[in-house]
Chain A
Amino acid sequence: GNSVTQMEGPVTLSEEAFLTINCTYTATGYPSLFWYVQYPGEGLQLLLKATKADDKGSNKGFEATYRKETTSFHLEKGSVQVSDSAVYFCALSDQGSARQLTFGSGTQLTVLP
Protein backbone atom coordinates (compact mmCIF):
# COMPACT_ATOMS: atom_id res chain seq x y z
CA GLY A 1 0.00 0.00 0.00
CA ASN A 2 0.88 3.67 -0.08
CA SER A 3 2.90 5.25 2.71
CA VAL A 4 4.61 8.55 3.48
CA THR A 5 7.57 8.97 5.79
CA GLN A 6 8.16 12.46 7.03
CA MET A 7 10.94 14.00 9.04
CA GLU A 8 10.06 14.02 12.70
CA GLY A 9 9.79 17.25 14.56
CA PRO A 10 9.57 19.49 16.23
CA VAL A 11 11.81 21.80 14.27
CA THR A 12 12.84 25.14 15.75
CA LEU A 13 14.60 27.74 13.61
CA SER A 14 15.54 31.36 13.86
CA GLU A 15 13.96 33.83 11.48
CA GLU A 16 15.65 33.91 8.04
CA ALA A 17 17.12 30.43 8.48
CA PHE A 18 16.96 27.82 5.74
CA LEU A 19 14.31 25.16 6.11
CA THR A 20 14.25 21.58 4.86
CA ILE A 21 11.61 19.06 5.84
CA ASN A 22 12.28 15.64 4.37
CA CYS A 23 9.55 13.49 2.89
CA THR A 24 9.82 10.13 1.15
CA TYR A 25 7.04 7.95 -0.13
CA THR A 26 6.13 4.46 -1.20
CA ALA A 27 3.43 4.04 -3.81
CA THR A 28 2.40 1.99 -6.77
CA GLY A 29 2.00 3.78 -10.04
CA TYR A 30 2.44 7.51 -10.34
CA PRO A 31 1.01 9.35 -7.37
CA SER A 32 0.46 13.06 -6.97
CA LEU A 33 2.38 14.63 -4.11
CA PHE A 34 1.29 17.43 -1.78
CA TRP A 35 2.40 19.56 1.10
CA TYR A 36 -0.33 20.76 3.42
CA VAL A 37 0.10 23.31 6.21
CA GLN A 38 -1.96 23.68 9.36
CA TYR A 39 -1.76 26.96 11.22
CA PRO A 40 -2.86 27.00 14.86
CA GLY A 41 -6.62 26.65 15.19
CA GLU A 42 -7.19 26.21 11.46
CA GLY A 43 -7.77 23.37 9.04
CA LEU A 44 -5.19 21.93 6.69
CA GLN A 45 -4.47 24.12 3.68
CA LEU A 46 -2.80 23.09 0.47
CA LEU A 47 0.67 24.65 0.32
CA LEU A 48 1.93 23.18 -2.94
CA LYS A 49 1.67 20.11 -5.12
CA ALA A 50 3.31 18.22 -7.96
CA THR A 51 1.62 15.71 -10.19
CA LYS A 52 4.47 14.12 -12.13
CA ALA A 53 8.17 13.37 -11.89
CA ASP A 54 10.52 16.38 -11.92
CA ASP A 55 7.64 18.81 -11.36
CA LYS A 56 8.43 21.54 -8.88
CA GLY A 57 5.63 22.89 -6.73
CA SER A 58 6.10 26.33 -5.22
CA ASN A 59 4.10 28.77 -3.12
CA LYS A 60 4.86 31.51 -0.59
CA GLY A 61 8.59 30.94 -0.97
CA PHE A 62 8.30 27.19 -0.31
CA GLU A 63 9.41 24.68 -2.94
CA ALA A 64 9.39 20.93 -3.38
CA THR A 65 10.48 18.81 -6.34
CA TYR A 66 8.94 15.45 -7.23
CA ARG A 67 11.91 13.07 -7.41
CA LYS A 68 10.84 9.69 -8.67
CA GLU A 69 14.35 8.21 -8.57
CA THR A 70 14.64 8.86 -4.84
CA THR A 71 10.87 8.74 -4.15
CA SER A 72 11.16 12.05 -2.34
CA PHE A 73 9.34 15.37 -2.12
CA HIS A 74 11.38 17.45 0.33
CA LEU A 75 10.02 20.84 1.36
CA GLU A 76 12.42 23.80 1.35
CA LYS A 77 12.36 27.50 2.04
CA GLY A 78 15.34 29.77 1.83
CA SER A 79 14.39 32.20 4.58
CA VAL A 80 11.66 31.35 7.08
CA GLN A 81 9.52 33.88 8.91
CA VAL A 82 7.79 33.75 12.27
CA SER A 83 4.49 33.51 10.40
CA ASP A 84 5.61 30.17 8.90
CA SER A 85 5.25 28.53 12.30
CA ALA A 86 2.77 25.70 11.72
CA VAL A 87 2.48 21.95 11.24
CA TYR A 88 3.46 20.71 7.80
CA PHE A 89 2.10 17.48 6.31
CA CYS A 90 3.45 15.63 3.29
CA ALA A 91 0.83 13.59 1.46
CA LEU A 92 0.20 11.58 -1.67
CA SER A 93 -2.78 10.46 -3.65
CA ASP A 94 -3.30 8.02 -6.42
CA GLN A 95 -3.18 9.86 -9.71
CA GLY A 96 -6.47 11.54 -10.47
CA SER A 97 -7.89 11.29 -6.99
CA ALA A 98 -6.59 14.13 -4.86
CA ARG A 99 -9.44 13.90 -2.44
CA GLN A 100 -8.31 10.73 -0.67
CA LEU A 101 -4.84 11.20 0.76
CA THR A 102 -2.14 9.24 2.52
CA PHE A 103 -0.34 11.47 5.01
CA GLY A 104 2.98 11.66 6.74
CA SER A 105 3.01 12.21 10.48
CA GLY A 106 3.39 15.97 10.26
CA THR A 107 6.27 18.22 11.31
CA GLN A 108 5.80 21.02 13.81
CA LEU A 109 7.84 24.07 12.79
CA THR A 110 8.48 26.93 15.19
CA VAL A 111 10.29 30.02 13.94
CA LEU A 112 11.73 32.31 16.57
CA PRO A 113 12.20 36.04 16.01
Chain B
Amino acid sequence: GAVVSQHPSWVICKSGTSVKIECRSLDFQATTMFWYRQFPKQSLMLMATSNEGSKATYEQGVEKDKFLINHASLTLSTLTVTSAHPEDSSFYICSSGGNTEAFFGQGTRLTVV
Protein backbone atom coordinates (compact mmCIF):
# COMPACT_ATOMS: atom_id res chain seq x y z
CA GLY B 1 0.00 0.00 0.00
CA ALA B 2 0.84 3.67 -0.11
CA VAL B 3 3.15 5.16 2.50
CA VAL B 4 2.57 8.17 4.70
CA SER B 5 5.61 9.24 6.70
CA GLN B 6 4.99 11.25 9.86
CA HIS B 7 7.51 12.82 12.17
CA PRO B 8 8.54 13.32 14.80
CA SER B 9 7.28 10.13 16.40
CA TRP B 10 7.48 11.73 19.79
CA VAL B 11 8.22 15.17 21.14
CA ILE B 12 8.42 16.80 24.55
CA CYS B 13 8.07 20.55 24.68
CA LYS B 14 7.72 23.28 27.24
CA SER B 15 4.39 24.95 27.87
CA GLY B 16 3.96 28.00 25.67
CA THR B 17 6.13 26.81 22.82
CA SER B 18 4.99 25.62 19.39
CA VAL B 19 5.45 22.21 17.85
CA LYS B 20 5.26 21.27 14.17
CA ILE B 21 4.27 17.80 13.00
CA GLU B 22 4.86 16.79 9.40
CA CYS B 23 3.15 14.20 7.25
CA ARG B 24 4.50 13.30 3.83
CA SER B 25 2.99 11.04 1.22
CA LEU B 26 5.96 9.18 -0.20
CA ASP B 27 4.57 7.45 -3.25
CA PHE B 28 1.32 9.17 -4.09
CA GLN B 29 -0.16 12.63 -4.27
CA ALA B 30 -2.22 13.46 -1.22
CA THR B 31 -4.78 16.05 -2.18
CA THR B 32 -6.46 15.56 1.18
CA MET B 33 -4.94 14.78 4.57
CA PHE B 34 -6.91 13.97 7.69
CA TRP B 35 -5.55 14.85 11.14
CA TYR B 36 -6.67 12.85 14.17
CA ARG B 37 -5.99 13.12 17.89
CA GLN B 38 -6.26 10.46 20.55
CA PHE B 39 -6.38 11.08 24.28
CA PRO B 40 -5.55 8.19 26.62
CA LYS B 41 -8.18 5.47 26.63
CA GLN B 42 -10.28 7.36 24.10
CA SER B 43 -10.99 7.02 20.39
CA LEU B 44 -9.06 8.61 17.59
CA MET B 45 -11.02 11.79 16.90
CA LEU B 46 -10.92 13.71 13.64
CA MET B 47 -9.56 17.20 14.20
CA ALA B 48 -9.40 18.65 10.73
CA THR B 49 -9.23 17.95 7.03
CA SER B 50 -6.56 19.67 5.00
CA ASN B 51 -6.79 20.15 1.27
CA GLU B 52 -3.85 21.04 -0.91
CA GLY B 53 -3.86 24.70 -1.78
CA SER B 54 -6.86 25.69 0.31
CA LYS B 55 -7.84 26.31 3.91
CA ALA B 56 -8.33 23.39 6.24
CA THR B 57 -11.74 22.38 7.54
CA TYR B 58 -11.86 22.01 11.31
CA GLU B 59 -14.21 19.83 13.31
CA GLN B 60 -16.46 21.40 15.88
CA GLY B 61 -14.61 22.30 19.04
CA VAL B 62 -11.14 22.36 17.45
CA GLU B 63 -9.46 25.78 17.61
CA LYS B 64 -8.13 26.65 14.19
CA ASP B 65 -5.83 29.35 15.59
CA LYS B 66 -4.24 26.87 17.94
CA PHE B 67 -3.86 23.99 15.50
CA LEU B 68 -2.47 25.50 12.34
CA ILE B 69 -2.61 23.28 9.29
CA ASN B 70 -0.69 23.89 6.12
CA HIS B 71 -1.02 21.78 2.98
CA ALA B 72 1.07 23.69 0.51
CA SER B 73 2.04 20.76 -1.69
CA LEU B 74 0.60 17.45 -2.82
CA THR B 75 3.09 15.53 -0.70
CA LEU B 76 3.29 17.50 2.54
CA SER B 77 0.82 18.54 5.20
CA THR B 78 1.86 20.04 8.53
CA LEU B 79 0.10 20.52 11.84
CA THR B 80 1.50 23.15 14.19
CA VAL B 81 0.35 23.18 17.79
CA THR B 82 0.84 26.80 18.83
CA SER B 83 1.42 27.90 22.42
CA ALA B 84 1.10 24.33 23.58
CA HIS B 85 -0.23 23.56 27.04
CA PRO B 86 -0.24 20.33 29.04
CA GLU B 87 -3.85 19.65 28.02
CA ASP B 88 -2.64 19.43 24.39
CA SER B 89 -0.58 16.38 25.30
CA SER B 90 -1.95 13.66 23.10
CA PHE B 91 -1.29 11.28 20.22
CA TYR B 92 -1.64 12.95 16.81
CA ILE B 93 -1.88 10.96 13.59
CA CYS B 94 -2.47 11.82 9.95
CA SER B 95 -3.99 9.83 7.13
CA SER B 96 -4.63 10.07 3.45
CA GLY B 97 -5.46 7.76 0.58
CA GLY B 98 -8.16 6.64 -1.79
CA ASN B 99 -11.80 5.84 -1.41
CA THR B 100 -11.30 2.25 -0.36
CA GLU B 101 -8.50 2.52 2.14
CA ALA B 102 -6.88 5.12 4.36
CA PHE B 103 -3.10 5.15 4.85
CA PHE B 104 -1.78 6.38 8.15
CA GLY B 105 1.36 7.96 9.41
CA GLN B 106 3.19 6.50 12.39
CA GLY B 107 1.69 9.02 14.77
CA THR B 108 3.28 11.62 17.05
CA ARG B 109 3.19 11.42 20.83
CA LEU B 110 3.23 15.01 22.12
CA THR B 111 3.97 15.69 25.76
CA VAL B 112 3.79 19.28 26.99
CA VAL B 113 5.50 19.92 30.30
Point out residues on A near B: beta carbons under 8 Å. Answer: 4, 6, 8, 36, 38, 41-46, 49, 89, 96-106
Flag if A44 contacts B41 (CB, 8 Å). no
Flag if B99 contacts A44 (CB, 8 Å). no
Give every chain A residue within 8 A of B49 (Cβ-Cβ): 100
How many of chain B's residues have a CB under 8 angstroms from any CB in A?
29
Flag if A99 contacts B1 (CB, 8 Å). no
Q: Which B residue sits closest to A97, measured CB to CB? A: B99
CA distance A101 to B96 in the complex (A): 11
Flag if A100 contacts B101 (CB, 8 Å). no
B70 contacts partner chain A, Cβ-Cβ < 8 Å: no
Flag if B106 contacts A43 (CB, 8 Å). yes
Instruction: Please give 11 more A-B residue pairs, beta carbons under 8 A apart, in addition to A38-B107, A100-B34.
Output: A4-B43, A43-B103, A43-B104, A44-B95, A46-B102, A96-B99, A98-B101, A99-B34, A99-B97, A102-B46, A103-B36
CA distance A4 to B9 in the complex (A): 26
Q: Which B residue sits closest to A51, measured CB to CB? A: B100
B98 contacts partner chain A, Cβ-Cβ < 8 Å: yes
Q: Which B residue sits closest to A105, measured CB to CB? A: B43
Flag if A99 contacts B9 (CB, 8 Å). no
Nearest CB in chain B: distance from A29 CB, A: 16
Flag if A43 contacts B42 (CB, 8 Å). no
